[in-house]
Amino acid sequence: MSVNHLLQFMIVSQGCRTQEELVQEFEKLLSAYNVDFYGLVRTPKPDQNPLSLVLAGRWPEKWPQVYVAKKFVLIDPTIRYLAQAQLPFRWSDALMAFKEDPHFKRMQRMMVEAQRVGLEDGYVFPIHGRGGLLGNMSIGGRPLELSPLEIMLFDSVAKCVFWAMVGLSGASLPTLPKADARLTRRELEILNYLGDGMTSNEMSRMLDISNHTVDWYVNELQDKLNAKNRQHMVALAIRLGLIN
């Protein structure tokens, strides 16, 4: 497949004046690559209806409703993998990343159900900003093999169409809570250990300090990050780029 389609879209998209025009040009590009389905979505959140986050998309009939009704967003491996992904990835690779997850069998059943309606495999392209993950572009349907160059260019297309759609639609993007992220070396150590799932006892042994001192650092971190609890603290730290 010629990469000229990808390059041409990035040029043409700059001249689009409406969402409809942009979507039409984007779907022409996907048609050239025999891509049946796609979604351009703002940052997914488990506590929100994912349909409310869609900037543009085309899916198998009734699949979005089934996806919401069965709460697949809570176990969708592509959504969960997005939390840690910096680069594009395949749907099937995201599934295999959770082989040891207690929900793996349910993830497999979700993927089988998706395949039955034509969502056999595809790619996800994360879109990041200063505040972390802002959204993603997902393309797929029939099995699609992209070369490394095509993946790189599709990644650029994802950013191009996402920002153009946001600008044309006036959609709001998530804002991070204000946080005093001026952390000390010790606080960063504690934060990284929290990200690894370590308990206060484990951290006290690792750092050779008392449990009380560990808890004091954790409380300081919670205040600086305006976090509700340890889990919220780790999530904010990842979104702020303080830990990986």
Write the pLDDT tens digit of every residue in 111-120.
Answer: 999 999 999 9
Q: Tell me how far apart the alpha carbons of residues 173 and 119 are, in angstroms, rounded to a whole number.
A: 28
pTM, whole model, 2 decimals? Answer: 0.70
pLDDT score recorded for residue 189: 85
One of 2.60.40.420, 1.10.10.10, 1.10.3720.10, 3.10.129.10 is the CATH number of 185-239, namely 1.10.10.10
- Rounded to 5°, angle at Cα 91 from 119 and 82: 125
pLDDT in tens, 15-50: 999 999 999 999 999 999 999 999 999 875 544 566
Rg of the Cα atoms in the chain: 20
Task: Outline which parts of the chain fall under CATH 3.30.450.80.
Answer: 4-169
Q: What is the rounded CA–CA span in Å between residue 42 and residue 75?
A: 18
In the chain, CATH 1.10.10.10 sits at 185-239
CATH code, residues 4-169: 3.30.450.80
pLDDT for 124 equals 97
State the angle between helix axes of 211-225 and 185-195 in degrees (0 to 180), rounded to the nearest 10: 90
**Quick one: which of 240, 186, 233, 175 has its CA closest to 208?**
186
Separation between Cα atoms, residue 10 and residue 32, nearest integer Å? 15
pLDDT at residue 85, as a whole number: 85
pLDDT at 185: 77
CA distance 199 to 20: 51
Tally Cβ neighbours within 10 Å of residue 189.
15
Measure the CA–CA gap between 65 and 100, rounded to whole angstroms: 29
Per residue of the chain (244 residues), what is the pLDDT tens digit? 678 999 999 999 989 999 999 999 999 999 999 999 999 998 755 445 666 788 999 999 999 999 988 888 888 999 888 877 889 999 999 999 999 888 899 999 999 999 999 999 999 999 987 667 888 999 999 999 999 999 999 999 999 999 999 888 776 665 544 545 567 878 888 888 888 888 999 999 888 899 889 999 999 888 888 888 888 888 887 776 677 5
